[in-house]
Amino acid sequence: MEYQIGVISWDGIGPEIVAEAKKVLDQIGEKYGHVFHYKEILMGGCSIDATGEPLTEEAVAAAKASDAVLMGSIGGNTSTSPWYRLPPEKRPEAGLLKLRKSLNLFANLRPAYLYEELKGACPLREDIIGAGFDMMIMRELTGGLYFGERRTEEKDGVVTATDTLTYNENEIRRIAKRGFEIAMKRRKKVTSVDKANVLDSSRLWRRVVEETAKEYPEVSYEHMLVDNCAMQLVKDPKQFDVILTENMFGDILSDEASMVTGSIGMLSSASLNDTKFGLYEPSGGSAPDIAGKGIANPIATILSAAMMLRYTFDLDKEADAVENAVKRVLAEGYRTVDILPQESAGTKDAQTIVQVGTKQMGDLIAARV
Ligand code: IPM
Ligand code: MG
């Protein structure tokens, strides 16, 4: 089969990590008889430099015309880059938000999985890690504070900023259904996270999740307040299977979940709508401090490409091959700098570890698919 993949890759470490994901995809293509066509799409800082806009209508149309979009990273250093002197709606991140909204990508899947081999990079104590953990954060992606009305104005001589948090029951229901469906394919447990002790939007969230849960009697579910969830993620991450939550809470909790796995450089993500289309991107940012140095971890992007194979192209065997290749490379001891074992980790680990750069990591994985 032939597949059209839009590629967004120019900011920060984007070009380096996307090149490795393409390398792995092309290897899959060769081995399993598929052809992947890539089309560059401008978004973020590179688009601002070229067109003055973080995402043009032409770029949105190009994304819509693709079967899926693979994205590296967007944005730069928020204190030094000239992009951040522009008004908010002209900054790199506005391009990503516009793309999510334009393509109705309401369901954001962020798996957080602790690889056996990376226990040494996990900042949690051995007794907390136990047999490891494997959770899926289901983050609502096109509503809430991110897309509510906002303004900054002067009221009686005092500058005042307002952001609004709105959800309707339909927006909650469709993400809740996705969350329960994913749970059915996993360990059948949903933890719905909200702030129902304070927010109306969370009280509605809870009600709609409870209604939705009735359609999935095999799935056990619980409600958890977001502050408690932040604590539980470091206290006992094993308890979680699917974490279902709204946009802003999901943004924060997914960074936390990624850190407890040892590195944000390991985490993939998929943003999906009601069709087979998906936007696939690593959970980490553009990391401008290490851009161009050849040391960024490409694994999150490679695993995002695996999610693309699975969710958009229905190529499960091929997705498994990529994921297994990543596991093998880790088992053989290869590490980028961000996932080196911490110094306190056992010496047995330290002897077998080989530090590699971005390109070598991509080569190693491609050779094992
Ligand atoms: C993420 C990022 C984005 C978000 C930024 C870049 C706008 O942090 O995908 O988690 O807040 O959603
Ligand atoms: Mg984030």
Name residue 278's beta-bridge partners: 272
Residues 59 and 175 reside in one and the same domain: no
Give the per-residue pLDDT at 312: 96
Q: Which helix (H) or strand (E) holds 362?
A: helix 358-367
Which CA distances in Å does 324 have to 100, 115, 303? 30, 12, 10
Which of ligand 1's atoms lies nearest the C-alpha of 269? 9
Expressed in angstroms and rounded, the spacing between residue 342 Cα and the centre of ligand 1 is: 28
Residue with CA at minimum distance from ligand 1 atom 6 = 93
Question: Phi then psi for 278, rounded to 5 degrees?
Answer: -150, 150
118 domain-assigned: no
Please state, for a pLDDT cut of 90, what percent of the chain lies above it.
88
Query: For this structure, is 255 an active site residue?
Result: yes
149-184 tens-digit pLDDT: 999 999 999 999 999 999 999 999 999 999 999 999
290-308 tens-digit pLDDT: 999 999 999 999 999 999 9
Give the per-residue pLDDT at 351: 60
114 domain-assigned: no
Domain span including residue 86: 1-109+264-369
Is pLDDT at 190 greater than 90 in this prediction? yes
Which of ligand 1's atoms lies nearest the C-alpha of 141? 12
Is pLDDT at 344 greater than 70 in this prediction? no
Cβ–Cβ < 8 Å for 81, 288: yes
Rounded Cα–Cα distance for residues 290 and 102 (Å)? 31
Q: Sorting pLDDT into bands at 50, 70 and 90, what band is 11?
A: very high
Burial (CB < 10 A; 0-12, 13-18, 19+), residue 262, is buried
Task: Work out the average pLDDT over 187-216.
Answer: 98
CATH number at residue 287: 3.40.718.10
Q: Sorting pLDDT into bands at 50, 70 and 90, what band is 81?
A: very high
Expressed in angstroms and rounded, the spacing between residue 351 Cα and the centre of ligand 2 is: 35
| Listed residues 242, 260, 278: the one ending a domain | 260
Task: Work out the average pLDDT over 336-365.
Answer: 81
pTM metric for this prediction:
0.94
Give the per-residue pLDDT at 342: 73
Is pLDDT at 23 greater than 80 in this prediction? yes
| Listed residues 237, 260, 283: the one ending a domain | 260
Cβ–Cβ < 8 Å for 261, 113: yes
SS3 at position 322: helix
Name residue 4's beta-bridge partners: 37
Residues 105 and 12 reside in one and the same domain: yes
| Listed residues 260, 293, 323: the one ending a domain | 260
Which CA distances in Å does 219 have to 65, 138, 239, 242, 279? 36, 15, 14, 10, 27
Give the per-residue pLDDT at 347: 46
Give the per-residue pLDDT at 121: 84
Cβ–Cβ < 8 Å for 54, 94: yes
Does ligand 1 come within 6 angstroms of the Cβ of 71? no
Q: Which residues fall within 8 angstroms of residue 161, CB to CB, at 6 or more apart? A: 150, 151, 152
275-291 tens-digit pLDDT: 999 999 998 788 999 99
Q: Which of 54, 10, 25, 2 is nearest to 366 (CA)?
A: 25
Residue with tokens 């306190």: 344
Number of domains in the chain: 2
Residues 194 and 319 reside in one and the same domain: no
Angle at 99 between CA 95 and CA 101, to 5 degrees: 115
Query: For this structure, is 227 an active site residue?
Result: yes
Cβ–Cβ < 8 Å for 144, 166: yes
Is pLDDT at 9 greater than 50 in this prediction? yes
Task: Work out the average pLDDT over 227-247.
Answer: 97
- Mean pLDDT of all residues in the chain? 94
Query: For this structure, is 163 an active site residue?
Result: no
